[in-house]
Structure 1
Amino acid sequence: MRRYWSLWRELFTLSWRRQRRHTAATLTAIALSTLAVPVCAVALRRAVDAIDGGHTSTAVMAAAVAALAYAVSLVLQDTAGLLRATTNDRLGRLELHPRIHRDISRVHGLEHLERTDFLDRMTIVRLGTGHVTMSLWNMVLAVSNVLKLVLAVLLLGTVTPWLGLLLVFAALPVWLDHVGQRRVRRVEVETSEDHRLHRRLAELAVSASAGKELRVSGTAEDVIRRQTTAWYAAMGPRARAQFVAGALKLVGWLVFIAAFVGALALITHRTVHGHGTVGDVVLAVTVAMSLRQTVASTVMSTTSTASARRVLDPYLWMREYTEREATRDQGEQTPPAALTDGISVENVSYAYPGTDRLALDGVSVTLPAGAVVAVVGEYGSGKTTLVKLLQKFYQTDSGRITVDGIDLSRLDTERWRDRSSAVFQDFGRFRTTFAETVGLGDLRHVNDRERIQRALGEVEADDLVRRLPNGLDTQLGRELGGLDLSEGQWQRTALARAAMRTDPLLFVLDEPTASLDAPSEQNIFEQHMARARHLGQRTGAITLIVSHRFSTVAGADHILVLDKGRLVESGTHEDLLALRGQYADLYRLQADAYAESAPATTEEEDA
């Protein structure tokens, strides 16, 4: 509970600083609603006793107070809820939601986005951000309702102490509901992976991009079947847990109702036998009638506060994880201004979370400063994993990587990436203006039109800009009322984005032209090769090219051949062909495939 109170204190401080007027108004409304019914009941007793005693002025004054208190309670039933919802919405959407995404992005690596335990909790938190902030107001409301119950019991105790036992019976449905909700929370965590699968399949079924393949392949029914299976796997246990929780809650309510009926019978008996005043009867009935609503509100608020744990626990777990991982292996050293020796990979091994298979297995190689290094191999050979390790997206399981003799883990991660530039095969598609989607490659120059135009020219995308309706200011993304690009055009924007930085120490091209035609691919590679030579002379930058098309990597200074996570061959294009090993076999297979697919010559057609 200390963790929850600490979080609520933090959320309240944030709400008070950023939404002071809304927060103050909400607290005032809750405080007035807490006192309205007790004030009304006491005033009614005073009015009735004054009438019975013949004190007209006192009766009128007390009746006016009772009427005012009753009117306030009626108004606050809606106003307090509206204020609470508005304040919560502003706090969640404007403050907490961005903070959650900021915490996730603070982790420098990518492992957390591939761990099922992190993804399960992230799914719960992203869908329930409002529950995190609402838990604060539910807690405040729960405290308010408990105070209402205490005041009600104290007032009933002035009639007879036996009526104070109603508080004990009022606590029973709260406790039983808490037991049921604890079971619900446990089941929701256990079934979150199936729930995430159901949502992903549901999105797939209505996706325009996936819709083409689903219809051509006729697999829509299979996707729907899998979606239904995942839904039953997730919602079946949840429904059973909800049923048990509802049954426990019903038992608690039945016991309280029985106690409530007994209390009314006791009050009636005392009145008939002349114990107490008529005002006492009016007070007891007024408080007793409101007690049902107060207990219901108490159960609801305490239940909501308790059920919020299904989001609070994952949120606190995520926050502790991101705080810990954000500082782990971050490094403090500044990267060199220019490379003189290069990057050394020393007996590096790495396995992705959740698997024992090594994606890289004892790889050792030196990437000389100023060199263009190509990495080739079949799918799953470890090419992209090597790139991600060099970018500090992952930490090696064994071995180390050094940059001019400095361990990569000791280099400041943000500064190292500030001296890196990359195009990945799963490049981003940013739905902003065209200028911004290119300028994001170097945030300091995101509005530098001259640099953006120069980057576009380096990847032969000038003609693309001229065809856009508003040029660089064209909005991208149909869902935002803009224009959608083809796969090849999106790839050109990613290439231009990577060209925004002019002084990288590491320039990565990971399958950068997979969506382009062969002539465009060749032209872009020639331009990037020239750029790589220029960067190598200026800063000793290393250009790392990952490609499955061997014709584009033949001009590299060094070629690394990976197979099942191991470095099996390395050397120049000519050296590897002369070796007649795996590289030579793959190169000839690809060359033969291109030769067979090439159009026939005039002589062949005449023959």
Structure 2
Amino acid sequence: MTARLRDLIGNFLVVEKIGPAWLASRITHEVATLEGTEHMERGDYLDRIGLLRTSSWELVAGMWTAIRTLFSAVQLLLVLLLLGSVSPWLLCLFALAAVPLWCDSRARRLHHQAQTATAEKFRLQRRLFELSTDVAASKEIRISGATERLLEHQNHAWNVMVRQRFRARLHAFLWRLVGWAAFTAGFTATLAFVVMHTTSGRSVGDVVMTVTLAASLQQTVQAAVSQLTGTMSAGVVIEPYLWLRSYAETDRARANGTLPPPPALRDGIEFKGVCHTYPGTLHPALQDVSVTLPAGSVVAVVGEYGSGKSTLIKLLGKFYQPDSGSILVDGTDLAALHTDDWRARTSAAYQDFGRYPQTTFAEAVGLGDLQHISNSARIADAVRQADADGIVDSLPNGLDTSLGRAFGGVDLSEGQWQKTALARASMRQAPLLFVLDEPTASLDAPSEHTIFERYMKRARSLARSTGAITVIVSHRFSTVAGSDLILVLDKGTLVEHGTHQDLLNADGRYAELYRIQTAAYTLD
């Protein structure tokens, strides 16, 4: 095995050890520990993450090459000293090395610009591929006959990306060709001049030594330039990583509070002129919302799709910060409360609930309170709260059954996954905020009725112990009639709030929606 081959293998092993392991874990850490979720809807963020996912090897390789470049620089200096003692003209070769270096730098810049410009197309074709091979979406795709259309969109995105990147690579190749052609021509001319100058009054041995040293310089310069451009390549690739680090530091500095949440709510949660607009949109999702959610109350949030219900819930969870206005918890700005501590006093079942494969059913429930993930009594109680006993009884190994068919476990139906999410939300026994975001959208009517009865009892129990506020988001008005306070949102504006009977008597937006839904159910 040659020394060069051993060097390449050693480099590969080091890079493979550090790239996927250390760097990937650092990227995952930066992404997962950001306080909110706003970045997940930013195109510039997603593009850079996409580049990092495909460039970690190149980034770490460049760092490793930087170390080797130092040794090459020392070697180059020694060769230059020898050349200077033979013929000062040979030092011109060192200046010529700047030409391929500059050209290579320009080539890599073109390549990086093309990667950044096509990152969105790369994400699009990847998402279309995942959609086309997803089990849940495959049924609808096949029934509708949309396979070819999706493939056309994927191919178009892929071809646009490939064309742009190929064009950039071609231009980069031409720049490198020009750089090394100039260096080779200059090297040949300089060497010829030095040989002609040296042969005058010199022995054949001197000429041979001059040519040998010049050839050694060429090899050393080529190695140094190659390694230096590799290091520069890492410098280009590291920009997305540094951007991510900077974004994360800025996010943590501006958003994460330091105050602990109160042990129990006394007054409640107050929205004061809250406005929020999502990145890349023109119309606010919430506009000048002002209302108080009393401590110990059950609050229902209703409205049509796009009215701002989910946005209000996200703001309560500190996934977003209001653009203006404030949310006060017993008079203290929610932004000033320590995020992890506030979330530790929050329980939630969201409409887009998580499905955790390669876990047991017990673990999927216990994730709702990591301190008690192994507490079988706590898990069993949470399962009962969510009316999920029947699911456990139907599983081959009960609570110890592994989930996820694609990972060798048992798959659950949509309704069973939702009950699992509801059980997970019941793990914490002393929350200050309990959120149910469309908690029964995937359940049948009997299950819905049973669960709401149980959770209304749980809400009253939590209200007595911690003054907890239970917030229910629902399209089904029959499930919110017993709430203490109903918020009616329309196009991001709070148009009405009050009790069920008060809103019916007001004969406004709520009464209109209630009549429409009641008539629809009557016709059914």
**TM-score scaled by length of structure 2:** 0.94
Of the structure 1 ranges 385-394 and 95-104, higher mean CA displacement relative to structure 2 is found in: 95-104
Which residue does the alignment assign to 2:365?
A: 438
Which residue does the alignment assign to 1:585?
A: 512
Inter-CA distance 484–275: structure 2 relative to 1 (3 Å threshold):
farther
Structure 2 unaligned runs (5+)?
A: none
- 1:309-458 matches, cutoff 5 A: 309-431=235-357, 432-458=359-385
CA distance in 2, matches of 1:180, 1:79: 29
Larger relative CO (CA 8 A, sep 6+): 1 or 2? Answer: 2
Secondary structure of 2:290's counterpart equals: strand
Which residue does the alignment assign to 1:88?
A: 15
**TM-score scaled by length of structure 1:** 0.81
Which residue does the alignment assign to 1:573?
A: 500
Which residue does the alignment assign to 2:145?
A: 218
CA distance in 2, matches of 1:78, 1:564: 65
Of the three residues 521, 534, 540, the one matched with 2:467 is: 540
Of the three residues 432, 448, 454, the one matched with 1:521 is: 448
Of the three residues 537, 543, 564, the one matched with 2:491 is: 564
CA radius of gyration, larger in: 1
CA distance in 1, matches of 2:107, 2:35: 39
Secondary structure of 1:569's counterpart equals: strand
Deviation at residue 246 of structure 1 after TM alignment: 0.8
Deviation at residue 338 of structure 1 after TM alignment: 0.7
Secondary structure of 1:309's counterpart equals: helix
Secondary structure of 1:97's counterpart equals: helix
CA distance in 2, matches of 1:320, 1:264: 49
Deviation at residue 133 of structure 1 after TM alignment: 2.2
Secondary structure of 1:249's counterpart equals: helix
Secondary structure of 1:215's counterpart equals: helix
- 1:119-134 matches, cutoff 5 A: 119-134=46-61
Task: Check the 8 A contact 1:149/1:167 in 2, yes or no.
Answer: no
Inter-CA distance 212–300: structure 2 relative to 1 (3 Å threshold):
farther
Task: Check the 8 A contact 1:333/1:411 in 2, yes or no.
Answer: yes
Which residue does the alignment assign to 2:386?
A: 459
User: Which amino acid in 2 is paired with 1:585?
Assistant: E
Which residue does the alignment assign to 2:158?
A: 231
CA distance in 2, matches of 1:465, 1:290: 74
Task: Check the 8 A contact 1:154/1:164 in 2, yes or no.
Answer: no
Secondary structure of 2:97's counterpart equals: helix
Which residue does the alignment assign to 1:65?
A: none
Deviation at residue 290 of structure 1 after TM alignment: 5.0
Which residue does the alignment assign to 2:135?
A: 208
Secondary structure of 1:128's counterpart equals: helix
Deviation at residue 237 of structure 1 after TM alignment: 2.7
User: Which amino acid in 1 is paired with 2:278?
Assistant: Y
Deviation at residue 340 of structure 1 after TM alignment: 1.2
Deviation at residue 243 of structure 1 after TM alignment: 1.4
Deviation at residue 523 of structure 1 after TM alignment: 1.0
Deviations 1:53-96 (A, max 9, x none): xxxxxxxxxxxxxxxxxxxxx74312222222222222233322
Of the three residues 106, 119, 122, the one matched with 1:192 is: 119
Which residue does the alignment assign to 1:248?
A: 175
Inter-CA distance 288–433: structure 2 relative to 1 (3 Å threshold):
farther
Deviation at residue 155 of structure 1 after TM alignment: 3.3
Inter-CA distance 465–284: structure 2 relative to 1 (3 Å threshold):
farther
CA distance in 1, matches of 2:143, 2:165: 36
Deviation at residue 596 of structure 1 after TM alignment: 2.5
Of the three residues 485, 495, 502, the one matched with 2:412 is: 485
CA distance in 2, matches of 1:515, 1:348: 31
CA distance in 1, matches of 2:22, 2:91: 43
Secondary structure of 2:285's counterpart equals: strand
Structure 1 unaligned runs (5+)?
A: 1-73, 598-607
Task: Check the 8 A contact 1:332/1:411 in 2, yes or no.
Answer: yes
CA distance in 2, matches of 1:566, 1:249: 59
CA distance in 2, matches of 1:487, 1:121: 33
Of the three residues 409, 414, 422, the one matched with 1:495 is: 422
- 1:267-278 matches, cutoff 5 A: 275-276=202-203, 278=205
